[in-house]
Amino acid sequence: MFDYKQLVDQLLNTVKLKEVAPDVFEGESFDYVGKRIFGGQVLAQAIMAASHTLHEDKPCHSLHGYFLRGGNINQPVIYKVRHLRDGRSLSAREVTAIQYKEDQQGNKLEQVVFTMIASFSPMEGGLDYQEEMPAYPPPEDLESEQSLKEHHVGSVPEPLRERFMRPRHVEIKPVKPRDPVYPEPMEPKQANWLRIRELGEQPVAIQQALLAFSSDYYLVGTGLMSHGISFMTKGLQAASIDHSMHFHRPFDINEWLLYDMWSDTTSHSKGLNHGQFWQNGNLVATVQQEGLMRLRG
């Protein structure tokens, strides 16, 4: 058995930034998916960095970011925030995420790993419309991702089994599980229930940061489904290129959210993927991401 509370504490440490200069923050790096920084970590920390510079407590309503380089988990990430606008309702921030690399002479070279523009605005009344929440089996009727791994671990190459079985920091229940080792071609559409239980009451900024963190799981893989390949397919090079997110309504990530995902096109070694988060019948956030999916050999 694993200590889930310890995983939650690590998530909270991930979004706890240190201010090192005015409008400059440092975030600790963790091993979430391997030697490269998990895109969800950078998204979450960038949201937190921007929110720390607001003069008023406003939730984020949209963000648009680009992953420019693979980050090193052995180094912290520095977030430089630029104030673009502060109006009566809307505030805009530009966030640049930086790490440093030494050249042969020992000089530190700045490496931009991620850049984002985010807009913040208070919740207010007004015109309100949404589509109906998709109908899927409820989470209590589904098997957890961690339990499903037990069915496939025997097919995973021995050097990868320990990492394959590592528990996620986000509890996930796939609606229609897919064989991660020998996938069949299928319609590029999938849905997961997810939550971060034992998180407790948290500010809106942390809730939004952790939803952005969670949104980077499974989304880029949706574009692989129609081709019958997975992240374990030999010769596959896959990575997130960009990520946009719109927050529509309040939510509580302690409770189950439905993450409905689909891909409508893949071309030129890239796939465009879309997602919606639902809770208690409400559409709470929309996500879009383009992913690199280059198959060699």
Question: Is 240 a residue of the active site?
Answer: yes
Question: Is 237 a residue of the active site?
Answer: no
Alpha-carbon dihedral 45, 49, 54, 60, rounded to 10 degrees: -20
DSSP string, 233-279: STTEEEEE-EEEEEE-S---TTS-EEEEEEEEEEETTEEEEEEEEEE
DSSP 72: B
How many CB atoms within 10 Å of residue 90?
13
Question: Is 214 a residue of the active site?
Answer: no
CA-wise closest residue to 236 among 186, 184, 159, 296: 296
Q: Which of 99, 119, 216, 279 is catalytic?
A: 216
CA-wise closest residue to 191 among 173, 207, 167: 173
Q: How far is CA 2 from CA 7, 44, 169, in A?
A: 9, 24, 11
CA-wise closest residue to 245 among 47, 87, 38, 12: 47
DSSP 80: E
Q: Which of 240, 263, 276, 279 is catalytic?
A: 240
CB 11 within 8 A of CB 210: yes
Q: Which residues are catalytic?
A: 216, 240, 289
